[in-house]
Amino acid sequence: MHRRYARKNIPIELLRALVTIVDTGSYTKAADALDLTQSAISSQIARLGGLLGGSIFAKGQGNTTPTNRGLLVLQYARRMLAMNDELLTFAGPNSAPRQFVIGLPSWLGRERLIEIFERCSAGEQVSFRCDRVERLLGDLNVGSIDIAYLCNTIDSPCIAVAQWSEPTVWMKSPKLVLRPGTPIPLVSWPGTTGDRVAVELLQKSAMDFFVAFSAPEFSARLAAVAAGLGVLATQARCIIPGIEIVRDGLPALPANKAGIYARDGLNLDRHGPLLRTLTDLLVPRALSASAPAAAADKALAPPPRARTHELHRAG
């Protein structure tokens, strides 16, 4: 890159290095994933920090905890990489026809995912992406996915096919005994909204706690709970055999806002049957209906338990 442009352009490989480090949890794993040496990865992060005028990760060799600047950079990096990869997919040398993409949170159970895959792929050609809610939201905002089931997001998209609230609970194994006055063993993954809420509530209640297990994969966190390693704050619908709800002794968790959201410009009339199927599959049947915010589109008339919004159609 010409020297006069060095401060005006951020090489995409620097952003990919950042995202890969955060997703894999270490410089070494990121280097393996990107087929680079660990020193090359470290140099890329140092260069990125130099371009942006500050540290990306907290001080300490191999530290993968983003600074406040790093968290902001990470949000933009995911969006920029999504657009970069989408451009290569649809306009690159091996571009493919655009498919309808459904985004689903990675914590959905195996049986629920199978049902969603089978029923949603019966009527039209679709593809699916399971990921963390934060990534799904970013991809929905840039248009690389068309519909997403999102829970507990700080900033939800404005185009809602359906919205509802469902309970969030503390869960643990019956084998784990929580004794009053002893630190709470927490199962978590830093950076997720659920983890942030859990930590804030424990701190506000002046309750001592420690991280007994952490992993980016929800299935691994659920396994840790089932093994009795600690407690986890998550959606009540994630309860599985061998895990119980903690009824008392921990601060009450707030209700979880959830919804099925569409990308900007999606032609909702065209995908009405698929959206009704998703609504039927994902809105918990035990929840009571909330009043419609506005008269819903006839093609998108959902079950009465889901709160709907009138949407603007793309031309």
Lowest mean pLDDT among 90-104, 126-140, 249-263: 90-104
* Confidence bin at 79 (pLDDT 50/70/90): confident
Q: Give the per-residue pLDDT at 3.
A: 54
**79 near 142, Cβ under 8 Å?**
yes
Identify the domain boundary among 38, 57, 89.
89
Whether residues 75 and 16 share a domain: the answer is yes
* Residue range 70-87: mean pLDDT, rounded: 86
Same domain for 60 and 197, yes or no, is no
Same domain for 7 and 84, yes or no, is: yes
What pLDDT sits at residue 296? Answer: 30
> Does 312 score more than 60 pLDDT?
no
> Is 57 found in the same domain as 10?
yes
Mean pLDDT of 80-108: 77
Give the mean model confidence (pLDDT) for residues 131-152. 85
- Give 17-34 as a DSSP string: HHHHHHHHSSHHHHHHHH
Query: Residue 249's closest CA among 194, 173, 167, 170?
Result: 170
Q: The CATH number of the domain where 292 resides is what? A: 3.40.190.10
pLDDT in tens, 13-67: 999 999 999 999 999 999 999 999 999 999 999 999 999 999 999 988 778 899 9
Structural domain includes residue 313: no
Domain containing residue 228? 168-245
Number of domains comprising the chain: 3
- What pLDDT is attached to residue 43? 94
Asked whether residue 85 falls in the same domain as residue 11, the answer is: yes
Residues 9 and 83 in one domain: yes
Residue 105 structure tokens: 């949170």
Four-point Cα dihedral 138, 139, 143, 144, nearest 10: 170
